[in-house]
Structure 1
């Protein structure tokens, strides 16, 4: 456990992460003060594995969206600070030291950002808009929380707080196979459309133009070509996700208006 003035909890929301969660928790279990895990109904042995590391494992039977699920998990945290992780992420030793140093300094009115390095289909992606990937993952439990968003949730940071960028890397082992990518993005596509239905309009031309711009941005502006064939595949896949989002939203509107 940490010897710092401030205590810190590692918090996760999970579902069917039996292949990943042990490696994630092993990267923090020897130095955090608390591990809080909220499972949303895993059908594998995710919960059993989690219980090897902590007794603060909770299960919910409904799904309110990513933002509110994180809020639920945070309600179980008693430590001064909360460090958010996904089950497919690993805290490197360098990042661990940066976190402990930040806790020891105990600077007021700060939130902390970590730099995530993701791998996809067996390769680390260092361009394509994927890296550097600074995300807010550490903050004082009583001073910040996640938004209510169904998907693409974010930390609501008080205007009075300063952003601190930590050294080290958060390793993110995403999908290894294409079916894993499509399963995950299909869920996000539905939630994206659910969140905007009735509030935002779409069209087929928007679906085409936004998807084309996504490809150009990722492959050329964000130098996805430097990631080789993986960069090309990811740019094409991302463009397809954008097209499907806007097309789905447009089709929902069309069906409602159809006689």
Structure 2
């Protein structure tokens, strides 16, 4: 059984979706789109493709959304992409060849190159570019059940390999989107801190953001990315500060209303 299910999480994802589906429609055996309430033409684009299902599921966090998608896939081998991750031709052919020869491993990693504010970058908190996330896996052996809420990644595999080719990840196209994502992602990470029982005190709120800026702008090479690197250094600072500040406030409100 060499069938592959592809799922993509969407929310107003019309910009790149057709390009992704055109690349992979003849490689995978089903396509599942899990949408969290798009108001653009995402659903209309999906309806043009065969062997494709469009399912709405209210978004709570990435872990929950990916587990929902995984459960609704028909086949055990699952390829998952974000709606702004474009596979190159070599990657598509590599997946085709792996499928033909049979899946020797439980999980497969793919090189992913990040493009932020319309520029290829070296780092965006908390990821260096390229990174090599697992993007193809067998759900019999690994899943997202032990994953973080935000930076969700499958675990449980006993063998893994790297697929030749790359993904180009086009994200945060404008400074407004970047600012909105700081609020959204820091909120999920604050809840993750609480879930793991980690402390959030004034020292962390003051000093950890400075450490994040130094690490991702200076040590990880963000300064080499020009003005975009400066924006992403500030993103690391704001993200970290808001994460700890929100976690502290959530705990305070919880104890106040307890």
TM-score (norm 1): 0.88
The Cα shift of 1:174 comes to: 0.4
Hey, what's the Cα distance between the residues in 2 that align with 1:107 and 1:19? 32
* One of 178, 184, 188 as aligned partner of 1:187: 184
Structure 1 CA distance for aligned equivalents of residues 254 and 74 of structure 2: 47
8 A contact 1:110–1:163 mirrored in 2:
yes
2:95 pairs with 1:99: yes
- Mapping of residues 85-164 of structure 1, within 5 Å: 85-127=81-123, 129-147=127-145, 149-158=148-157, 161-164=158-161
Residue matched to 1:214: 212
Q: Deviations over 1:150-202 (max 9, x none)?
A: 322110223xx222112211011101101111222311111222233372221
Q: 1 CA distance for matches of 2:123 and 2:250?
A: 34
Instruction: Count matched residues.
Output: 252
For residue 246 of structure 2, the aligned residue among 245, 248, 254 is 248
Tell me which residue corresponds to 1:223.
Answer: 221
Residue 84 (structure 1) aligns with: 80
Over the residues paired in the alignment, what is the CA RMSD in angstroms? 2.2
TM-score in terms of structure 2 length: 0.88
Q: State the Cα distance separating 1:43 from its structure 2 match.
A: 2.2
Counterpart of 1:56? 53
**Separation in structure 1 between the aligned mates of residue 122 and residue 199 of structure 2, nearest angstrom:** 34
Greater helix proportion: 2
Cα deviation, residue 241, structure 1: 0.6
Match of 1:17 among 8, 13, 16: 13
Task: Specify the alignment match of 2:4 in structure 1.
Answer: 8
1:174, 1:14 → 2: CA distance? 13
Counterpart in 2 of 1:69? 65
Quote the residue 1:31 is aligned against: 27
Q: 1-side partners of 2:254 and 2:79: how far apart?
A: 43
Alignment partners' CA distance in 2, 1:28 and 1:227: 32
- Alpha-carbon distance in structure 2 between the residues aligned to 1:64 and 1:174: 20
Within 1, Cα distance between the matches of 2:202 and 2:182?
20
1:196 aligns with 2:155: no
Gap regions ≥5 residues in structure 1? none
**Which stretch has the larger CA shift, 144-153 or 43-52?**
144-153
Between the aligned partners of 1:252 and 1:127, the Cα distance in structure 2 is: 30
CA contact (8 A) 1:84 1:138 kept: yes
CA gap of 1:133–1:64, structure 2 versus 1, over 3 A, is same
1-structure distance, mates of 2:56, 2:97 = 33
Does structure 2 retain, via aligned residues, the 8 Å contact 1:127–1:226?
Answer: no
What SS does the aligned partner of 1:9 have?
strand
| SS class of match (2:228) | helix
